[in-house]
Amino acid sequence: MAQSVSSIQARIRRGDGSPLVTAGDLAPSEHFVDGGFRPGKSGRTMDVVNPCDGTLFAQVPEGTAEDVDLAVAAAVAAKATWGRTVPKERSEVLHRIADRVEEHAEALARLESANTGKPLMVSRDDVAQSVDTFRFMAGACRALTTAASGDYAPDHLSVIRREPLGVVGIVTPWNYPLLMAVWKIAPILAAGNTCVLKPSEQTPLTTLKFAELVADLLPAGVFNVVTGDGPTVGGRLAEHPDIDMIALTGSVGSGRAVARAASDTLKRVHLELGGKAPVIVFEDADLAAAAESLRVAGYWNSGQECGAGCRVLVHESVAEEFVGHLVGQVETFVVGEPTAGDEVEIGPLVSRAHFERVTGYLERARAAGVRAAVGGTRIEGPGFFVAPTVLVDVPEGAECAREEIFGPVVTVETFGDEAAAVSRANSTPYGLSASVWTENSRRGLDLPDRLDFGTVWVNAHLVLANEMPWAGFKGSGYGRDLSVYALDDYSRTKHVMHHHAR
Ligand code: NAD
């Protein structure tokens, strides 16, 4: 039986009207180019909306190709000097950036929550992870080495040099605006590149604030921000002849568009795209622990999470018991505005368009006979709130279990044997992440080999470590974020050979 809408509404926590930020907390509403804020060439602006009530929150420039070209010229002019700095020098700058972000952590978290509607607990975690990403890259770039030099052809000494790529274009999504920007900026700068970043049109504010905070720490032109829409600003970055690599985190459609636009110049492409992570729960799993873990892994950031454990495949013999545990977890969520206190766990979705997308999936699932064990509806009233939902009686191949919903919605399918579980888990165009829940240690060791995903957790889900890579397979893209592998992706190796016969 679906939980009644009125009981969910009764639990929506609203703030007392005091804002998270004031106009004085925002960075200038301009592009950040060549070390300073500059107005856009068109004079046009884009609206940034508060997801808690749909009201206008801020405006930023609607960037043009000309704005991108100016930013790229600044990044090109800065690349030789920044690219020649030694790792120690870049590392010190990155540590200073980490310190600066940490000093302003609460202000950044509040701004992120104000722009995205995220609970403060999520924004604070985003900022803490951003700080740690800078610190990790500051250390890692000093430890990165190449193969030892040696003679591989007689009387010829081979040396491998690691070099920056040059200028990297970055396009980021709205779900973790600051953190996804930092996942790119930190390794890209650590590897000696300069960059031009386009934030999501819906959530540009913490990226601009970050630029303001670190402006005095970086040489002019090393880091630039141009706001605007995807096809115009992101498209120009992807096709620009002076950009050496384009790195995008976003949906599969945007990834395809970027890869196409990049193909004429044959620049490198780095894509972190969508996901639909299966959570395979075997009959011998600790069901309560799996459900408790999914409270976070399925619903963190209101389910707007590319690695979310949103597609449960549970053995038919324990399905009812598992659903009972999961519904018990989901019923106790605190849903509300970020201004309503630190206990809020689920906020509104980011925009009206996304809200309509998610509720569209729920309506079509209901029409197809899928049952909501809890939630399953929008929440009436101001803002883009959707009730935390568990969908059961989900037939194999159902749309809600196949496509990325990207909201607080977990689907539950059942399976009869291990082979079916593996083949159904793999039968998705995505390949970002998956998890396996079992107390059988042989199965726990063997099964990850058979799953076609860039990250596979055993008896866990959505636990990340900045030392480890985050990267998808198949339709989830290619290119590694985090870890030393990201430094590899954002640099190139050159073979220099010296003939030394005498
Ligand atoms: P989106 O694809 O709509 O937008 C992402 C960015 O791409 C935005 O800045 C947008 O303006 C830009 N863009 C759109 N069209 C473009 C084009 N033609 N050329 C260049 N740029 C273009 O994605 P979103 O809705 O902001 O974010 C949600 C998506 O991101 C989900 O699919 C999610 O799974 C994915 N995501 C993936 C990861 C990961 O690490 N794999 C992390 C976070 C989010």
CA-229 nearest atom, ligand 1:
11
Q: How confident is the model at residue 201 (pLDDT cuts 50, 70, 90)?
A: very high
Q: CB of 71 within 8 A of CB of 31?
A: yes
CA-200 nearest atom, ligand 1:
9
Residue to substitute in 118, 133, 182, 251 for testing ligand 1 pocket (most ligand atoms within 8 angstroms of CB): 251
pLDDT of residue 348: 97
The verdict on 77 and 47 lying in the same domain is yes
The verdict on 173 and 310 lying in the same domain is no
- Per residue in 289-298, pLDDT (tens digit) is 999 999 999 9
Sequence-ordered list of residues with C-beta below 8 angstroms from that of 367, at least 6 positions apart, any chain: none
- Per residue in 467-494, pLDDT (tens digit) is 999 999 999 999 999 999 999 999 999 9
Residue 176 lies in a domain: yes
pLDDT of residue 12: 85
User: Closest Cα to atom 13, ligand 1: which residue?
Assistant: 230
The domain that contains 268 carries what CATH number? 3.40.605.10
- Crossing angle of helices 105-116 and 87-103, in 10° steps, is 70
CA 474, 480, 481, 483 torsion-angle sign: positive
Output the CA–CA distances (angstroms, integers) from residue 110 to 17, 202, 354, 386, 407, in the order listed: 15, 16, 22, 22, 22
Rounded to an integer, the average pLDDT of 170-184 is 98
Question: Range of 424's domain?
Answer: 5-12+275-466
The verdict on 82 and 183 lying in the same domain is yes
The total number of structural domains that make up the chain = 2
Which of these is catalytic: 52, 195, 306, 400?
306
Q: What is the DSSP string of 82-133?
A: HHHS-HHHHHHHHHHHHHHHHHTHHHHHHHHHHHH---HHHHHHHHHHHHHH
The verdict on 388 and 434 lying in the same domain is yes
- Per residue in 404-447, pLDDT (tens digit) is 999 999 999 999 999 999 999 999 999 999 999 999 999 999 99
Pocket of ligand 1 (CB under 6 A): 171-175, 180, 198, 200-201, 229-231, 234-235, 238, 248-251, 254, 257-258, 272-275, 306, 404, 406, 432, 470, 472, 476
Q: How confident is the model at residue 7 (pLDDT cuts 50, 70, 90)?
A: low
Q: How far is the CA of 173 from the centre of ligand 1 (A)?
A: 5
The domain that contains 365 carries what CATH number? 3.40.309.10
Q: How confident is the model at residue 17 (pLDDT cuts 50, 70, 90)?
A: confident
Q: Any catalytic annotation for residue 141?
A: no
pTM attached to this predicted model: 0.96
276 vs 302: CA distance, rounded Å:
15
The verdict on 428 and 483 lying in the same domain is no
pLDDT of residue 11: 75
Residue 79 lies in a domain: yes
Residue 101 lies in a domain: yes
The verdict on 310 and 171 lying in the same domain is no
Residue to substitute in 122, 249, 432 for testing ligand 1 pocket (most ligand atoms within 8 angstroms of CB): 249
Residue among 482, 488, 489, 490 nearest 137 (CA) = 482
The verdict on 80 and 182 lying in the same domain is yes
Residue 75 lies in a domain: yes
Q: Any catalytic annotation for residue 272?
A: yes
- Residue 58 belongs to what H/E stretch? strand 56-61
Residue 262 lies in a domain: yes
Residue 221 lies in a domain: yes
- Per residue in 28-51, pLDDT (tens digit) is 999 999 999 999 999 999 999 999
HSE toward the beta carbon, residue 367, CA cutoff 13 A: 7
Give the start-end residues of each E strand in 219-339. 223-225, 245-249, 268-272, 277-281, 309-315
Rounded to an integer, the average pLDDT of 4-27 is 79
Residue to substitute in 46, 171, 240 for testing ligand 1 pocket (most ligand atoms within 8 angstroms of CB): 171
The verdict on 351 and 382 lying in the same domain is yes
Report whether pLDDT(9) > 70: no
Structure tokens at 291: 């459900």
Report whether pLDDT(10) > 90: no
The verdict on 362 and 223 lying in the same domain is no
pLDDT of residue 6: 47
The verdict on 387 and 284 lying in the same domain is yes
The verdict on 261 and 331 lying in the same domain is no
Rounded to an integer, the average pLDDT of 41-67 is 95
Residue 500 lies in a domain: no
The verdict on 206 and 307 lying in the same domain is no
Report whether pLDDT(326) > 70: yes
Residue 471 lies in a domain: no
- Per residue in 204-244, pLDDT (tens digit) is 999 999 999 999 999 999 999 999 999 999 999 999 999 99
Rounded to an integer, the average pLDDT of 259-277 is 98
Q: Which of 1-5, 127-131, 205-209, 314-318 has the lowest mean pLDDT?
A: 1-5
CA-252 nearest atom, ligand 1:
32
136 vs 98: CA distance, rounded Å:
10
Q: How confident is the model at residue 1 (pLDDT cuts 50, 70, 90)?
A: very low
Structure tokens at 333: 């969520």
